[in-house]
Chain A
């Protein structure tokens, strides 16, 4: 592997010892305050892209040559979930180099993959550490692992474990058998809720650019950029932008099973229309002179919500690539068309405000 960095040389705080065979570090099964902070930070922004664990063999409790071996990714959040679920169990954890990506995503990309697993088993000398030839791979790692190839190359038989690490104690009690429930991926309200902060935060930068361009557009007068005009003309549009982002990045993910239609673009559109209409009738209200303004509001913003909602497909465990491609075939031309129309409408509206037309 690559050069050791200073970060790797320093012992992480979650390592609590070494087992007497030598090189294997024992890790804690409790999350410290720092781990909790990391957990929150990794849900908020790009911090999660560098929240990693050194790929290696680790131990929990006091494992011996007969203890089970669990395979994990080197995304710290995945690793933390696993070690906490192994409280009271003596076991080994083999962490693969998935470039800091979680098991499911890394399996899809092949970094949580057959080759890496085989190399890591050889590199850590796992066959000298344990006498048995069983490894437990999380169910959601299966898209990256070819069990029969691993068996042929290393002698280790792959046992697919539960989707959720919390089911591991029961899985072990069952004799390495996962029930149908343990093997089925869930996506309940809480699962969706923890994903929404990052969806919203990601929109921060584009939103700032949007706010700036709105204030410039509405502040621009023959005599220069006027702050008062910028504020008066722009604030509804800025707020509508914010509302649409929340509709696509927060409301649609949370209300996923309740919002009609299966296509995410349509779900986002419905949610956007409802939210924008509510805002419009509560805070703006219709008047005949403002056809252009009303058109902008009802054309641009629901579609913005739709686009953001469509991008949530990647965060869910129930969309397929063929399905998303089909959806994009219809949605993308609409987005391009509406974007162009919106720019024209905004310019026309501004010209009308300047009494040029």
Chain B
């Protein structure tokens, strides 16, 4: 079942995931939230076992109370990054940006 995903890997040595092991309390929360099996418990502390699998979703860092994990979080979406370049702002794919009061959905679809 996992064969497909182990084969589907993106570029190597680019991911920004960092671990400050001294801060880890061994709560396992990060291992639980990682959708890509990047992390594993080793000797009651977390360890990065496969960095290149990381997709920088930010779930581990966000859910790490002691702040042992950090990552440059974002969506790996070329459309969003190009949009960000064109508008000079943050990467955005144009969805979720609609005004909830006006009830109009943006025409452009995304993700």
Do A and B actually bind? Answer: yes
Compute how far the CA of A221 lies from the CA of B5 in the bound complex, rounded to whole angstroms: 54
Q: How far is the CB of B39 from chain A (nearest CB, A)?
A: 11
Q: Does A180 contact B (CB under 8 A)?
A: yes
Contacts A45-B109, A108-B75, A318-B9; A148 near B63 (Cβ below 8 A)? yes
A105 touches B5 (CB 8 A): no
A111 touches B96 (CB 8 A): yes
Q: Does B43 contact A (CB under 8 A)?
A: no
- Chain B hits for A184, CB < 8 A: 2, 5, 35-37
B36 touches A185 (CB 8 A): yes
Taking a contact as CB atoms closer than 8 A, the residue among A140, A263, A319 that contacts B77 in the complex is A319
> Per-residue 0/1 for A105-127: is the Cβ within 8 Å of any B Cβ (1 yes, 0 no)?
11111010000000000000000
Contacts A99-B96, A328-B81, A328-B82; A319 near B76 (Cβ below 8 A)? yes
> Per-residue 0/1 for B4-26: is the Cβ within 8 Å of any A Cβ (1 yes, 0 no)?
11011111101110000000000
Taking a contact as CB atoms closer than 8 A, the residue among B8, B14, B98 that contacts A322 in the complex is B14
A321 touches B75 (CB 8 A): yes
Q: How far is the CB of B64 from chain A (nearest CB, A)?
A: 9
The A300-321 residues at the B interface (CB cut-off 8 A) are 310-311, 313-321
Q: How far is the CB of B18 from chain A (nearest CB, A)?
A: 12
Q: How far is the CB of B44 from chain A (nearest CB, A)?
A: 19
Q: Does A53 contact B (CB under 8 A)?
A: no
B78 touches A5 (CB 8 A): no
Compute how far the CA of A325 lies from the CA of B82 in the bound complex, rounded to whole angstroms: 9
Please, how many residues of chain A have a CB less than 8 angstroms from a CB on the other chain?
A: 69
Q: Does A223 contact B (CB under 8 A)?
A: no
Compute how far the CA of A160 lies from the CA of B59 in the bound complex, rounded to whole angstroms: 11
Contacts A98-B96, A323-B15; A50 near B59 (Cβ below 8 A)? no
Contacts A160-B33, A315-B111, A320-B56; A310 near B9 (Cβ below 8 A)? no
Compute how far the CA of A26 lies from the CA of B72 in the bound complex, rounded to whole angstroms: 41
Q: How far is the CB of B96 from chain A (nearest CB, A)?
A: 5
Q: Does B32 contact A (CB under 8 A)?
A: yes
Compute how far the CA of A313 lies from the CA of B4 in the bound complex, rounded to whole angstroms: 17
Closest chain A residue to B31 by CB distance?
Answer: A183
> Per-residue 0/1 for A72-83: is the Cβ within 8 Å of any B Cβ (1 yes, 0 no)?
000000000000
Please, how many residues of chain B have a CB less than 8 angstroms from a CB on the other chain?
A: 56
- Chain A hits for B101, CB < 8 A: 2-3
Q: Does A209 contact B (CB under 8 A)?
A: no
Compute how far the CA of A313 lies from the CA of B10 in the bound complex, rounded to whole angstroms: 10
Identify which of B34, B77, B103 gathers the most chain A CB atoms within 10 Å of its CB: B77
Taking a contact as CB atoms closer than 8 A, the residue among A50, A105, A143, A188 that contacts B4 in the complex is A188
B100 touches A2 (CB 8 A): yes
Q: Does B57 contact A (CB under 8 A)?
A: yes
B37 touches A143 (CB 8 A): no
A183 touches B82 (CB 8 A): no
Contacts A99-B100, A187-B8, A319-B55; A147 near B29 (Cβ below 8 A)? yes
- Chain A hits for B63, CB < 8 A: 142, 145-148
The A48-106 residues at the B interface (CB cut-off 8 A) are 48-50, 97-102, 104-106
- Chain B hits for A144, CB < 8 A: 62
Q: Which 6 A-B pairs have the closest CB atoms?
A: A314-B77, A319-B76, A321-B74, A142-B59, A49-B105, A142-B33
Beyond A46-B107, A142-B33, A183-B32, 12 extra complex contacts between A and B, CB < 8 Å: A46-B109, A100-B105, A108-B74, A148-B65, A180-B37, A189-B4, A313-B78, A318-B10, A319-B10, A319-B55, A321-B72, A325-B81
